[in-house]
Structures are given as structure tokens and as C-alpha cells.
Chain A
Amino acid sequence: MKEAYEKPVILKLKTGMMNKFGSSPAYIRKVRKEIDGVPVEELVEKFGSPLFVFSEKKLRQKFREVKNAFTLRYPNVEFSWSYKTNYLDAICAVLHQEGETAEVVSEFEYEKARRLGVPGNQIIYNGPYKPYDSLVTAVKEGARINIDHFEEIADLERVADELGVKPRVGIRLNMDTGIHPQWSRFGFNLESGQALDAVKRIASGGKLELVGLHCHIGTFILDPHAYEVEVKKMVDFAYKVEDQFGFKIEYLDIGGGFPSKNRLKGIYLPPEVAVPSVDEFAERVCSALLSSLRPGDYPKLILESGRAIVDEAGYLITTVHAAKRLPSGLKAYVLDAGVNILFTAFWYKFNVEIDREVHGTSEPCVLYGPLCMNIDVVDDLTYLPPLPRGTRLILSPVGAYNVTQWMQFIRYRPAVVLIGENGEVDLIREAEDLTDIVRREKLPERLKLEW
């Protein structure tokens, strides 16, 4: 009988690095043959590779975990789904079923939420660019609008005149919470007095009713203390507004920004250690609220958490197309998925799992995408055993921001499937083909080719 085969490997030993090489048992754990009980190979056979796979079970679980953390600590909480994080209909529908309203930042996202059946008054309309017509629609339909700048106050006063109504609005604040970079380009600055000027301006116009405050301090925030600062500053400001201008602040929308269990580049601790639990965030937020609110006052706490809810529910299956050796001696793999569909690869180092047991020593390698662009790097250094062509890699978590920021560049965008709680697999976005790309193109008659 023939002996089992392993690809030949030679590794240079470096002192102090020895334990990184060798057949690390870590990679034995990195085999994933299925997602939610559905074999990876079956998914690829049916829907092709690369393939985005979402787990409905994980999505609902994660949402409930975040929701419980807050509702157990504060009596008046609303979750509003940040559409930009993932606006696939099926994903939004799951979260709306779970009770989330919709948080949108453009007329496109607004229209998408409405099309899905979300009533206007269940939509929060944010963002620095709200075209006038979209403000008219949003006011008519009773959406909650958080104003970003003075021009928008003027626009909304015009809408008020045009429709003969007094819109109930919020303003977005930006502030120092100790987080860098400070997202100071959105809304009105608190510390400089600009935010108070905005309230004065709204009060003197007399056409708008200020009922809410909004803020979003950044994304993938690893410091729960920042939220405590944010909440205290918002509550203080709310009472200042109430006492000085007579506007009752009915909601405090603290935005999103909670991290997922992803690994930010440059942070070497594993996410299980580096990322605080959602309970820690909830504890800071809710105890800051309860300690600074006046007795009996429970304004609505709104959370626009995006990545913390959906990131871990998303996987990308990709296939090894080729292996090569770089002049530096490093092993490289060419995958069928790159930064064209994995926008977040620029900032995060994904968990890489293999669809089968591969024998052999792990060696350092780099994972490239299929684009002929130097920037197309999925992982600039990971340790994998020698992978035969056709091996599937399962990358995660990739549920946040990828299926919204992906580009149709060089290649078609792949299919997206959702695995239901009973293991049913539904196609929720078909793979693109040429018709998707040329549908909007027009070729002038004089340029028609006659070959």
C-alpha cells in the first residue's frame, strides 16, 4: 500500500519563531466543512464560488443578545437598523421582524426601506446630504429627521411652509468623547457652542419642533467609557435645551459603533480578548443614563448598531485558484474573491478556515484576490498548510459593510444566500451577469461596430 501523501515543504528555522511554524494544532481547529449544518461543497455546487453566506440563526441570536443587554437595563429602548451596514432586503427583513426600525442616510436607502414595507414613521433619516425632495417626502411620511447643518434647518423650514406643518426634528451633535479620530464633520459641535446656536436658530425660526438629539461617535469603538461620556454630555445638553428653550427632548439617539468579534489590523490580541462584551457597553450606557436623568424622565434611547449585529452572521466562501511562490520565498495563493467584494479587508484580518483537512506543515503565506491590481490583498500574512487548487476557504466575519460597499470592478459580484433557522438555503441576491452591467449603457449610433 502507498503511503499518505503530503506536499513537500521546507521551512527555514528562525530562533524565537519556531513555535509559529511546525504543524500548529491551531489549524486543525480551522477546518470548517459546513455552515449551520449545510456542507460548504453543496453551497458552492449550487450557487458558485465565491459565495456570501448569511446565517439567519446567528443574526437573530446576535440581535437578541444586543437587545437584551439594553432592554434589561433601561425601560425605553429602540433599535434602528443601520441600512448602510447591510441593506439586502432579506437581512433588513429579519431585523425588522425582530423589531428594529430603519436608519437611513440617503434617499436611496429611504426608498429601499419604504419599498420593503417600513412605514415612514419607523424610519430615522440621518446624513449630511438630504436632497430637498427627500426631505419633503420624509416630513410628509412622518420620518424622524436628524439635522446635520444650518442649511438643512433652512431647508426644513421651507418644507414646513410648503406643507403647512410643524416638523418634529432632531439635531446631530458631535463631541469629544476621547475617541480619535473625532467624527466632527457631522452635525453641530457641542463644546464650541455650535450645537446651542443650532437650537437657538430652530427656536427663533419657530417652524420646527426640536424633539431629539443624535450622535454617532465612530465605528469599532473598543472603549466602552466613550459611550458613558457621550451619554452624559447628551443628557446635560438635553436638559439645557429643555430649560432654556422649552423643547422637550423625547429621544437620545446614541448612534452605533459597537465592535464585532473581528480583528482590526494592528491589534494583535485576539478579538475574544480585545473586544469588550456588549454587556459592558450596555452597562456603561444605561448606568450613565440612569445616573444623569431627572427622576421619572425616561426619554427613548435609540441605538443604531450596525456591525455588532450583522458582521458575525456573514461568511464568504472563496476558492484557491492557484498557488505560487514569490521571489521573497513567500507562498502566495490566488483566490477568486478579492477586495472588489471584500472592502473590509483593508482594515480587518479575517478568520480563515479551510473546507477540508490538509496534511502538511503550515507555512507563512499571502492571500491575493483575482484582480490584476497590486492592492488586491485579502490577507498579507497568514499560516496555512499547503493548499491544493480548488480548496475552499471560509472567511469571516464579513457580514458588515461588504455587501454594500462591494464594487463591480473587473469581475461580477457573486451570489448571496441565507441559511434559515431550519437549514433551508435561500438565494437572496443572484450572481450578477453582463446584463446587470450594460443595462444602463447607451452606445451612440455612430459608434456601432461593424465587424
Chain B
Amino acid sequence: MRKLERLAINDEGFIFDPETGNSYTVNKTGLFIIKLLKEGKSEEEIVKALSEKFDVSEEDARRDLVDFIEQLRLYGLLEGENV
């Protein structure tokens, strides 16, 4: 979680990584997930939160979350140990 905490994130979904100088954009759902990850929520909790807030089944939300986390890892925004 340390890595995520260092990121500068604004409400429009613009993310800046001060360590590498890279910037990213996330959509609304992505931003929602990142906020929960920062709070240290588990995968299951995030799936639940997604299906409560958005019009999506838990099954679809789970599949998308796995893919999203995969993307964060590939960009080096998540360290291996969490989630």
C-alpha cells in the first residue's frame, strides 16, 4: 500500500507518480477502486462495494477488478504483496 499512498490523485482521475514522473488517467470506476485500495480494502470488499454502488453483478465486477489490478501491477503502481 505504500506505493499507492505516494501517488497524487485528483477527482478527475488524473494520477501522478512522483517517483517515476509518469502520469495516468483512470475512469470513474478505476478511481473508485483505487480509493478503496488505498484504504486497505480487500478484493471481496471492493467487489461488494462496486456492485452496491454501480449497476453491475458481483461476478462481472470481480472479473474486471482482477484485470484492473493486473494493469496497476504492470504499471508498477501496486507492489506484489497486497491484494
Residues of A within 8 A of B (CB): 2-13, 21-22, 323, 325, 327, 329, 360-361, 386, 388
Contact = CB atoms under 8 A, between A and B. Distances in A.
A257 B1 CA distance: 60
B28 A6 contact: yes
Given A2-B53, A325-B70, A8 B64 contact: yes
B64 A7 contact: yes
Given A2-B54, A2-B55, A361-B27, A8 B74 contact: no
Chain A contact residues, majority secondary structure? loop
Contacts of B29: 5-9
B71 A10 contact: yes
The 5 closest A-B pairs by CB, nearest first: A8-B30, A5-B54, A5-B56, A8-B29, A329-B74
B72 A10 contact: yes
Contacts of A386: 64
A2 B25 CA distance: 24
Chain B contact residues, majority secondary structure? helix
Given A4-B54, A325-B71, A360 B27 contact: yes
Nearest to B23: A13
Interface residues of B, number: 29
B22 A12 contact: yes
B75 A10 contact: yes
Contacts of B55: 2-5
B27 to A, nearest CB: 5
A21 B25 CA distance: 10
B36 to A, nearest CB: 11
A10 B24 contact: yes
A425 to B, nearest CB: 32
Given A323-B67, A325-B70, A325-B74, A9 B27 contact: yes
B53 A12 contact: no
Given A2-B54, A325-B70, A11 B24 contact: yes
